[in-house]
Amino acid sequence: MLALSIVAPNGSRIAAGNKTLEIRSWQPPRWPLRDLLIVENRILLTGDDQVDRDGIAVALVDVEDVHAWQPDELDAACWDHWQPDLWAWEITRVRPLYGTLVVAARRKIYEAQVSDALRDCVESLPR
């Protein structure tokens, strides 16, 4: 399952529907992305091989579009200042996951190894 790790508390903000834009310095290789697993972690991952084994799956989302981030999009991104040359990923169809579903967090978009419990939880969500 494709996943994107997001440092706390922003994964929870996405799951709650409060954060509708994810801001990144890079664009995904393609979009729209369907059923992207959001993994919240506590460590800012800076190295390509760095892993946080204590990530928590918090939501399944779609990324409908990606555009250049605009100064008037601070609230949607849950940021307090704007920076140029960043990309806004439009998050839609948020399906929160409940419980403690541990998934290793990695950089960029990655293929997550998911437990049977998480797979069952995800498969029970509306599509």
Q: Write the DSSP assignment of 48-85 as a string of letters.
A: TT--BTT-EEEEEEEEEEEEE--GGGHHHHT-SS--SS
Q: What is the pTM of this model?
A: 0.92
Residue 39 contacts residue 100 (beta carbons within 8 Å): no
State the CB neighbour count (10 A cutoff) for residue 26.
10
Average pLDDT value over all residues in the chain: 93
Domain residue limits, the chain: 2-123
| Class of domain 2-123 (CATH, top level) | mainly beta
pLDDT per position as a tens digit, 5-58: 999 999 999 999 999 999 999 999 999 999 999 999 999 999 889 999 999 999
Q: What is the pLDDT of residues 82-102, one digit of tens each?
A: 999 999 999 999 999 988 899
Q: How many CB atoms lie within 10 A of CB 87?
A: 16
